[in-house]
Amino acid sequence: LENKDRSCSKAEQHISVSLNELQQKVLAKKTALALQQEERSVLDARIQTIQQNITSSHNHGLQSSLEQAPDLAPEERGTNDEATSMVLETAKMRSDAEL
């Protein structure tokens, strides 16, 4: 009976150690995930700022081109929509790659 008690006690200690190790791993993973989410938020804010700057610059550029060429039809003036999309796509890919 004593041998069984000692065996059970050793098994309980082993289980306790394993449980503590697993809890530490879970905590480390949760911490890493929280850091990734924080980094993602920072990158999303950067992208939003870039988008706002592009929109502002785009609107200013359109206003300038309208002032410089008021007699051109809208389709002759052109837009920067395609370039804007490419810049935003590149920024998004970079932020995804950083994560």
Q: What residue ranges do the domains of the chain occupy?
A: 2-98
Contact 91, 50 (CB under 8 A): yes
**Model confidence pLDDT, tens digit, residues 74-92:** 555 455 566 666 667 777 7
Higher pLDDT, 83 or 52: 52
What pLDDT score was predicted for residue 25? 97
Contact 73, 99 (CB under 8 A): no
Classify 78 in phi/psi space as left (phi over 0), alpha (psi -120 to 50) or beta: left
- Residue 7, both tokens: 């065996």
At residue 71, the 3 state secondary structure works out as coil
Q: Please tell me the predicted confidence (pLDDT) of residue 14.
A: 92
Residues 6+ apart with CB under 8 A from 36: 99
Nearest CA to 91 among 55, 44, 36?
A: 44
